[in-house]
Amino acid sequence: MQSVYIETTIPSYLTGRQSKQQPISEDQNATRQWWETERKHYRLFSSIFTFDEASGGDPEAAKLRIESLAGIRELEIPVGFEQLETDIIALFRLPPKAVIDAAHLALVILHEMDYLLTWNCTHLSNAILQKDLMDYCGYNKLHFPIICTPRTLIELRSL
């Protein structure tokens, strides 16, 4: 069974109020569909970074996000994590507000997760950045995960 790392945008889209903006609303619906019908086909993992981010903001919304993560195994911080995180920050030239994205990626790479599931298409599910990450991982003989949205995993399973 393949592994999926759940990044913070997933519980946010899963539990958030339905957006009035059509693209976001469609993404929320895809997240809910994946959660209800597809997640059972994968081993789910997350991390302290996701739990910390999900705990922020409105207390009622945070409670729903944290509840959605119940039962998902938390990955430990492995040896080499800090160096890889630093390298990813430099590679992607991440702004200070986005360094947590490097933490998610470092964990997924070092724990050899099959997928990183996210709606963060700026710093994670971004084809240009993924090409740079693929080159970096290949050069350093590291695992390269598939970084995608719930919609992508739904479509892949329906092929």
pLDDT for res 134: 94
Q: What is the pLDDT of residues 6-33, one digit of tens each?
A: 999 999 999 999 999 999 999 999 999 9
Mention every residue, 6+ apart, whose C-beta is less than 8 A from residue 72: 6, 44, 45, 46
Domain that holds residue 150: 3-157
Query: How many CB atoms sit inside 10 A of residue 109's CB?
Result: 24
What average pLDDT does range 83-92 have in this prediction? 94
pLDDT for res 8: 96
CA distance 109 to 84: 9
CA distance 70 to 73: 9
The secondary structure of residue 72, as a DSSP letter, is P
Mention every residue, 6+ apart, whose C-beta is less than 8 A from residue 3: 42, 43, 44, 45, 111, 112, 113, 114, 115
pLDDT for res 121: 85
Radius of gyration (C-alpha) of the chain in whole angstroms: 15
Into how many domains does the chain fold?
Answer: 1
Q: How is residue 85 written in tokens?
A: 């995180």
User: Would you call 75 helix, strand, or coil by DSSP?
Assistant: coil
0.75 cut: is pTM over it?
Answer: yes
Q: What is the pLDDT of residues 50-71, one digit of tens each?
A: 999 999 999 999 999 999 999 9
The domain that holds 11 is classified in CATH as: 3.40.50.1010
Q: What is the pLDDT of residues 104-155, one digit of tens each?
A: 999 999 999 999 999 998 888 888 888 999 999 999 999 999 999 999 999 8
